A and B are shown apart, each in its own frame.
Chain A
């Protein structure tokens, strides 16, 4: 009997185990801060997400500790399960002094926790730190919750989305960069059927995509069609993107790609790694995502096929002209839990630490590594050494800890212009800012959305995949939208619209994108 019992208490058991584990960890931290009072070095515990497969070497960590006179303990958590880990730490009351959140989406998941007073409001302190006050007010405003600032942010271009494609394949088939959706379809089709690699085998596909409707290809192509970014204006009211006819057109486009085999058929269950694998092994010719990835993709592709040439492209004309969805100017954000930072004095210590991290010297260490070892300086610009593995082991993970970025840190080294495609990608990322599609609900509030919005969206995501794979038809999709409305969507729409109407005139001045005429 008692043997069986264990199965029935799995969740509380997990919680207790986590609690025990975390108590252990916080002991380590606490004991660390006791040491700190002995040798006068503030102890700072950090939880951050890790984008590489392995925990980095502590070379850079040591340098940061030395330069800032602190003692760090960084808990690296794999990116894939980061949000779960944050929830577990919140539930067990074992947050570190510094908590990183992955991106804007994570920030909105944790809004309730932020509201509840779990974190320090840092707005009033920023002015006393010269480097931190260089952060852009308009971006900081996007990270606020109920008008209060709780976080520092890492810079992110407003839209990095675009197309990376095989220039050599396109040249061989006499194709130019796709200027419209029709041309994009044509490129995908010919990359699939016209043997673009010239090996005489039918072994290529057009587009490689993955199990992500947002950062994969779907949302970007959807914005080429002119679909709003999450929410948009439809007959004078805010409506979710999936109720727009353009969203349906995008789904039909993907359904066609899938039916005709122009995209990897397993894309709804393909990981990012496998998606890139198809591209770098010369099986797929088009990759839609962050254009800045062209550098690493090219390095890996050339290792397999030295003759391969990549190019980037951003302007694809849809029925409404150009358009691309925008983020809010930040990626990772940093929060400061009150449970781990009990006093204002300690908060100031931590903020002082971040102020120093935003100095050019430390920013260069974190972004580029050690001069002579990880990069060299030519004409005042940095050039990374060729050893990709060395940089991945020593430097890359620390880039995730950076606050601000090249536009807010004065004196941070710019890269040497060396890679043509990468330079073009940077130019196109700036060009994207000419036709951004913003999310109008960013400054708005819906209590019902905070409660169940994420879960309801999951149903719509499932339905989108099912439509693309031909498992449901248009009527089936509409039925899903109906049940979204019934299960709380209608109330979310109502609340967002009310929030819009009652919001300050400042918000009302936001231009209305994507009005359907």
Chain B
């Protein structure tokens, strides 16, 4: 991104003699170009070169033959993926969890940020902010373990409370019905606070003059929020939404893998967990690479779609 920005900046002053002119300009700005180098190398070494590993999706990769000598099999692994009985379940689960994420999780940090923004006692606000950030720093292992203890059928506190209130115990951990709500609640608990950071920063940049003017016009707190705060952070919301959609198939491997069990597999198995099981637990490297590749393609299409929509709606988009 930074690269294009720099180039675009240079482009403005471009003259008609490109070759010698460009070289001279590059030399003139060598310090800036030098600064690009580490980032460029990072992406090259850790992002682009590894991508070549995708070719094993089109081979029957065998470790003792290596990438060079493994036989080529064309689209065999993709054919197998599309004919697997699990395929549609996995696709459905992945997309459904993503949409639930978008619908139930995405608005929460915005609302939380708006609420924090209304807190006028600075000390209190900072205190709350710090508190809501803390869950983000806990690993999923800890969060899932805590919820196991709380939701267990054997003396889990939630089930004990349900029994005391005269209800039946609910098998949260081993049921298809409760998996999705449990997942979303855990995501919100861990990430909502952390997600407010960017919104709060955007809100801090709003010209206070706007609020003063509206107060003189007699706007209530709620009106100010609706007509000033929200429109001002709209572009931030859109950018984050696009980025979120880019994450479409990143539902948190660790998190879901920890929650996954024999009883909720029909709703909880997603591409990531499937890739792990097929690839690293059963040694089907080529097949699991094909699955991962397919997942990436869906992700790419969705990002491009979201970006296109954002531009249609008159926002900036991310590229």
Interface residues, chain A, CB within 8 Å of chain B? 1-13, 15-16, 83-84, 87-88, 90-93, 109-110, 112-113, 116-118, 205, 211, 264-266, 268-269, 339, 454-455, 461-462, 464-466, 469, 471, 483, 487
Contact = CB atoms under 8 A, between A and B. Distances in A.
A15 B262 contact: no
Contacts of A88: 280
Given A90-B283, A211-B261, A265-B154, A13 B299 contact: no
Given A6-B47, A88-B280, A265-B154, 11 more contacts: A1-B319, A4-B246, A8-B299, A9-B296, A12-B53, A91-B61, A93-B64, A113-B64, A266-B174, A469-B171, A471-B263
B52 A2 contact: no
A469 B53 contact: no
Contact of B275 (A11, A339, A462): A11
A363 to B, nearest CB: 33
Contacts of A6: 46-47
Nearest to B248: A7
Contact of B54 (A12, A109, A483): A12
Interface string B271-283: 0000100111111
Contacts, number: 124
Contacts of A117: 64
A444 to B, nearest CB: 21
Shortest 4 CB-CB distances between A and B: which pairs?
A12-B53, A8-B296, A265-B153, A462-B262
Interface string B5-17: 0000000000000
Interface in B180-239: none
B202 to A, nearest CB: 19
A11 B66 CA distance: 17
B151 to A, nearest CB: 9
Interface stretch (B100-108, B284-292, B308-316): B284-292
B97 interface: no
A408 to B, nearest CB: 31
B18 interface: no
B282 A454 contact: yes
A454 B152 CA distance: 29
A10 B294 CA distance: 12
Contacts of A92: 63
A268 B261 contact: yes
A11 B53 contact: yes
Contacts of A461: 262
22 contacts: A1-B1, A1-B319, A4-B243, A4-B246, A4-B303, A5-B48, A9-B47, A9-B50, A9-B296, A11-B289, A12-B53, A13-B50, A13-B53, A87-B281, A88-B280, A90-B283, A91-B63, A93-B66, A109-B282, A117-B64, A464-B262, A465-B263
